[in-house]
Structure 1
């Protein structure tokens, strides 16, 4: 393998690694957006459940079935 061929192989390898890093970075950014969206949705759901629970009448103490 000549020096020139070896250098070209290294450049190709570096270019492929850079492309993979860019793709992984993009995937990570999309996942982070999804996580933030899901966190916000969960927070809204938690708030809504708390509102609904606050509107319910207090549960009366029930007698055990054997009384």
Structure 2
């Protein structure tokens, strides 16, 4: 194998390794964001469940008001 070809392959390998490292870092950050959002959704679901139980126990419906933009 010629030195020029070997150098080119080593450069290509270095670029690919950098890209893999960059993609891995981004995947880790996205996983953290997904975990954070999943936690937020779980907390909101729990609050909605408590609200539904409260409404069910009180026997009253929630007030139906027009949104402020009407």
- The alignment's TM-score, normalised by the length of structure 1, stands at 0.80
The 5 A counterparts of 1:34-49 are: 34-49=33-48
Moved over 4 A (4+): none
User: How many Å separate the matches in 1 of 2:54 and 2:31?
Assistant: 35
Please list every run of 5 or more consecutive structure 1 residues that lacks an aligned counterpart in the other structure: 61-67
Larger RCO of the pair (alpha carbons < 8 Å, separation 6+): 2
Specify the structure having the higher radius of gyration (Cα). Answer: 1
SS in structure 2 opposite 1:10?
A: helix
What is the count of residue pairs matched by the alignment? Answer: 59
- The alignment's TM-score, normalised by the length of structure 2, stands at 0.77
